[in-house]
Homo-oligomer: A and B are copies of this chain.
């Protein structure tokens, strides 16, 4: 069996026993094995630290060139990457594109931002301001790269995009990266790293194909950890890294809600957009997106029509081995996920009714049927607002106070609101805004050109408060802030301009 390697100190190295086995979740066939056991994590951190200066001394344009080269190299291997994602991730070809093309596009987006920033090495935050009697004495704020290492801990659901979006922000900001994929779906991340290692300069990118071991115990106040995963792991990291003073960004559980406004008529463009978005989010990647809609709130009196429309669409989903062309939804990624999702559905069903459950004809694999639940009383319900069931599952409910129900999720990555009524939208959006990192407004005029709330765009923030972890990634240049220190400079305006030029 193929043994995956890690890339540490610019060498490809193999871990020792015990190995974890990567499988095809459609067939349960083993695909490869990996381990980081025996790898010197301290040496990896030291190596990154020793090479940080080479990145910081580059201009944004030069850092952007690295991302462009990586993006191009991935594009050249796109078909191979799609194939690996289908095998190891249980992805349909569409799911695989969503992950792999997302990686390529996000790297390209940050490459382009680098090109625009040109010869600068640090970003100004706002305008310079006068501080003294004369304009000569001034102050300005600057984002400078942190003098440490960026450790990336990615989730199993987006091995390509997760690795690339985190690395793009850190590298453009000027921080060297140590990247760790989820072991179960590491095949795609491994290939992405192999390709990256071919274009990125010495020491700027390392890859740990498995457990991080004692890596995090090597970190200090100038280092950054960006973590995507469960709330439980996040809580442990918070304690561990809090003690060490390292900065931590968390993207965790999220009970993303979709709200249908009372004005939306069945058959209207906004209605159709709503139905298409909900069904896409429930079934794309078998519902394994942190941004997928988990709760559906119908603010008017159209609950029966919504239920009918969703059930009709969900009935058309064909679940099965993604190697078959007719399959429109694959399995969840691992046996553990299968167990967790099944248990999660049972728990949800304690306060709701199953109104749709799809069919599965496979005898092997980690398949979960698309499942729609109808809450008995969403205001009284607890599980639906608390437990993220990471599969093709959502709970539908009538809502007299939709914003109040949305907020019961305790903070999420994205909320989608479908309406063409400005007053409804203004109130609903502002009511839920403090509880979200992103709000997607589905309306008639944009129905033809959106990709749905589940698609994370590099231009907009990704992250959310509270339950969702309190982190922020992407958002174009905002994504660099995690890897930067904001520092105020005060003094003679001419000296400030010499130290930190405003324009390239």
Contacts and interface: CB of A to CB of B under 8 A. Distances in A.
Contacts of A425: 495, 498-499
A301 to B, nearest CB: 23
Interface residues of A, number: 76
Interface string A441-464: 111011001100000010111000
Contacts of A229: none
A141 interface: yes
A499 B429 contact: yes
Contacts of A429: 489, 499
A433 B465 contact: no
A422 B495 CA distance: 7
B129 A459 contact: yes
A360 B137 CA distance: 38
A503 interface: no
Interface in A391-432: 407, 410-411, 422, 425-426, 429-430
Main secondary structure, interface of A, reads mixed
A54 interface: no
A235 interface: yes
A152 to B, nearest CB: 19
A474 to B, nearest CB: 9
A478 B141 contact: yes
A145 to B, nearest CB: 7
20 contacts: A131-B450, A139-B459, A141-B478, A146-B465, A147-B435, A220-B466, A221-B466, A222-B411, A222-B434, A242-B242, A247-B470, A433-B485, A437-B485, A438-B487, A439-B487, A441-B489, A443-B492, A446-B491, A457-B490, A460-B488
Given A137-B450, A245-B470, 7 more contacts: A245-B411, A245-B467, A425-B499, A443-B491, A461-B488, A472-B486, A475-B488
